[in-house]
C-alpha cells in the first residue's frame, strides 16, 4: 500500500512513514488537486485527504481514496487502521521528512552524524546506532522520543484488539 496525502495531513504522513509506508505529499502550488490526483493515478497510490471536494474528484476518476474524518492524529491513525488495516510497527526504514528509504550509518561514516547539531555528544559515546537519509541528510536514532512513539503504537494496537472483541 502506498499513499499520497493532502497538505492538511502532514502529521499523518510522518506517522505512516514511521510505520514504513511509502507516503508522498506535495508542496503548496497552483492546481494542487490536479497534482495530487496525478500522483495517485501514476503511482497507484491511495489518496488520503480531508477535502471532500478532492475526494469526490478522485472517486470520479476511479482513484482509490479515503476521506479522513478527524483532525486529531491518534484518531486519524485509528481511521487508517480501520480502513486499511495498516500495521502499527514503528521502524527506522523511511525518512519521516522526505519519504526516502534510510540506511544504517557505518562506523567509518560517523563524521556525518557528528556534524549534526541535533545529535548530542553523549549519544555518540554510548554507541547508539544511527540511520541516515541519503536524500535529505537527516539522521535518526532510537532516543527518548522513540519511547513515546512505541507507547503510542502500543495504545493503537490495544485499541484494535479491543475493537475486534466487541
Ligand atoms: Zn530524508
Residue 132 lies in a domain: yes
- Same domain for 12 and 79? yes
pLDDT tens, the chain, 166 aa long: 999 999 999 999 999 999 999 999 998 999 999 999 999 999 999 999 999 999 999 999 999 999 999 999 999 999 999 999 999 999 999 999 999 999 999 989 998 898 998 887 777 777 789 999 999 999 999 988 899 999 999 999 888 777 766 6
Residue-number span of the structural domain to which 8 is assigned: 3-84
Instruction: Measure the CA dihedral 153/158/161/166, to 10°.
Output: -140
Q: How far apart are CA 113 and CA 119, in angstroms?
A: 7
Please tell me the predicted confidence (pLDDT) of residue 101.
98
In eight-state DSSP terms, residue 8 is G
Å from CA of 60 to ligand 1 middle: 33
Å from CA of 136 to ligand 1 middle: 4
- CATH number, residue 51: 3.40.50
Total domains in the fold of the chain: 2
Of 30, 49, 84, at which residue does a domain stop? 84
The set of cell numbers assigned to 67 is: 476521506
Å from CA of 139 to ligand 1 middle: 9
Å from CA of 55 to ligand 1 middle: 28
Å from CA of 160 to ligand 1 middle: 30
Q: To the nearest 5 percent, what fractions of the chain are helix, strand and coil?
A: 50, 15, 40
Amino acid at each position: 500500500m502506498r499513499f499520497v496525502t493532502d497538505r492538511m495531513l502532514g502529521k499523518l504522513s510522518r506517522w505512516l512513514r514511521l510505520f514504513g509506508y511509502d507516503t508522498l505529499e506535495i508542496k503548496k502550488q497552483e492546481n494542487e488537486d490536479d497534482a495530487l490526483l496525478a500522483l495517485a493515478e501514476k503511482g497507484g497510490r491511495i489518496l488520503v485527504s480531508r477535502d471532500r471536494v478532492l475526494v469526490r474528484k478522485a472517486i470520479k476518476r476511479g482513484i482509490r481514496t479515503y476521506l479522513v474524518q478527524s483532525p486529531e492524529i491518534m484518531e486519524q491513525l485509528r481511521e487508517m487502521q480501520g480502513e486499511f488495516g495498516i500495521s502499527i510497527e514503528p521502524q527506522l526504514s523511511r525518512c519521516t521528512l522526505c519519504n526516502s528509504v534510510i540506511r544504517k550509518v557505518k562506523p567509518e561514516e560517523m563524521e556525518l552524524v557528528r556534524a549534526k547539531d541535533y545529535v548530542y555528544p553523549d549519544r555518540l559515546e554510548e554507541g547508539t546506532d544511527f540511520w541516515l537519509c541519503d536524500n535529505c541528510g537527516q539522521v535518526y536514532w532510537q532516543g527518548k522520543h522513540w519511547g513515546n512513539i512505541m507507547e503510542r503504537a502500543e495504545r493503537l494496537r490495544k485499541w484494535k484488539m479491543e475493537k475486534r472483541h466487541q
